[in-house]
Amino acid sequence: MKGAVAAGHPDTVGAALRMYALGGNAFDAALAALAAACVVEPVLTSLAGGGFLLARRPGEDPRLYDFFVQTPRRRRPGDDSEFYPVLADFGTAQQEFHIGAGSIATPGTVRGLIHCHARLGSLPLREIVAPAIEYARQGVAINPLQAYIFSIVAPIYRATPEAEALYGGEALRGTDTPFHQPQLADTLAWLGEEGDAPFYDGELAARLVALSDAHGGHLQADDLSGFRVIERRPLIHRYRGYEVATNPPPSSGGTLINYALSMLDAQPPCAAGFGSLAHLRTLAHVMTLTNVARRDGILARSQRHRELMAAYRDAVAGHPVNTRGTTHISAIDAAGNLASLTLSNGEGSGRLLPGTGIMLNNMLGEEDLNPDGFNRWPCDVRVSSMMAPTLAEDSRHLIAIGSGGSNRLRTAILQTLSNLIDFGMSPEDAVNAPRIHFERARLDIEPGFEAATIDGLAADYPQHHLWSSHNLFFGGTHTVCWDGKAFSGAGDPRRGGVFASA
């Protein structure tokens, strides 16, 4: 056995497996999956988005590589910026997103790919991007999940003539006809030979600046040339004998998971059994207190909790928060290398980087990033994120886990970790088990719990919603485990997940 991977699309996983077949490590696999996801999961991620890699080599401390987006160094006046709302249709509800050239933050994914490859990879860069180039050139069928996601955000992918020309056919219709992206294939091949220089200092950077100038964007040349990957020490928490590492401030999701685990320490949920009313009450109570601590700074119980949340608020202060859609990749190899990688492009800005096939992000269009009103974000700061790539290990087990899912990803990761550690579930059972999520005074409940338990929760939480089926609303915790003898894992079916080993 060489390694294993879990991700949100069969071709994303296939790219990672090809790296193992070439003798690559878990980091090669994760980075090949990153490039592939930009082709086959195009609404969820892009080469013009951003993300985080949490990596751990055997015998070394884990390291967090932050290549999330940065706010531009200067703001154009609002009336001179292309920035406008569109409505996304979720079927049961609609949500307003903001797009246009004025919504584009400084991208980090290309620099993150190249930086992490230099630090951690073992295969040539051209091998890392080769599967993605093949997918883009030969075409990929749009699977039902990707077609559904496209249908939700169709107004964004038809917002400009260039976007309509690329995505208005097979992609948005969700047909069996392969979706070809020849310009993206050429761009990936260029980056595979030249690294990130074209994107941040060369021809592609010049095209992005020209687009920004012409269409009311904020980005200028020094935004791109000055972008750096930031290496951070992750947050570490000891939980039931496991060392759990996750994304540190200024991002927020990892801190909130850490805080929730620290509260579960004092009230083990396993005593009453998974899915019992006592178990779910404990989870809901922890979620409630975490939300209160995040919002108001009202802290629970201990000096440790107070110090943790005070440090969180200090670190996040001045960093606007992004909570938008994401995809995730987990990989472990037989040498004990661990990679947890989470990526996002927001929903896309509707603007393509000319001649590249790359949809540019709309990270500046998030409401949470603009609490004082749109176009008032702080300049030249790393954007905070709810994304929380996570690793856990004890003396015998290694776990790589993470999730997409906006604000829900932190409760999805918390519950899946608890299922693995507290209840001893297999990864498949831990991922597939029903979940709850509490936010803004409402408790959302997946089906699968006993009727009496649901009745008890409903009495405790009058504002609640019982879903009719498992749903991508509750995240997608793609998970890989290794016990030194065999790999196990699960791709979360809520988000098209696939697990495979080589």
For 491-502, how does the pLDDT look when each residue is reduced to its tens digit (9 = 90+)?
999 999 999 999
Q: Which helix (H) or strand (E) holds 12?
A: helix 10-21
What's the rounded Cα separation, in Å, for the pair 335 and 53? Answer: 18
What's the rounded Cα separation, in Å, for the pair 179 and 377? Answer: 36
What's the rounded Cα separation, in Å, for the pair 380 and 74? Answer: 8
pTM: 0.94
Q: Which helix (H) or strand (E) holds 342?
A: strand 338-344
Concatenating the DSSP letter of every residue in 137-192 gives: HH-B---HHHHHHHHHTTTTTTSSHHHHHHHTTHHHHT-SS-B--HHHHHHHHHHH
Say if residues 14 and 131 touch (Cβ distance below 8 Å): yes
Instruction: From the candidates 290, 323, 326, 411, give the one annotated as an active-site residue.
Output: 326
Is 288 assigned a catalytic role? no
Confidence of residue 317 (pLDDT cuts 50, 70, 90): low
Query: Which amino acid, residue 451?
Result: A
What's the rounded Cα separation, in Å, for the pair 104 and 324? Answer: 14
What's the rounded Cα separation, in Å, for the pair 451 and 265? Answer: 28
- Structure token pair of residue 80: 């001179």
Confidence of residue 78 (pLDDT cuts 50, 70, 90): confident
205, 196, 201, 252: which is closest to 229 by C-alpha?
Answer: 196
Predicted local confidence at residue 298, as pLDDT: 44
Distances (CA, A) of 462 to 7, 278, 325, 458, 473: 36, 17, 28, 6, 20
pLDDT at 27 over 80: yes
- Residues 81-123: pLDDT tens digits? 999 999 887 766 678 899 999 999 999 999 999 999 999 999 9
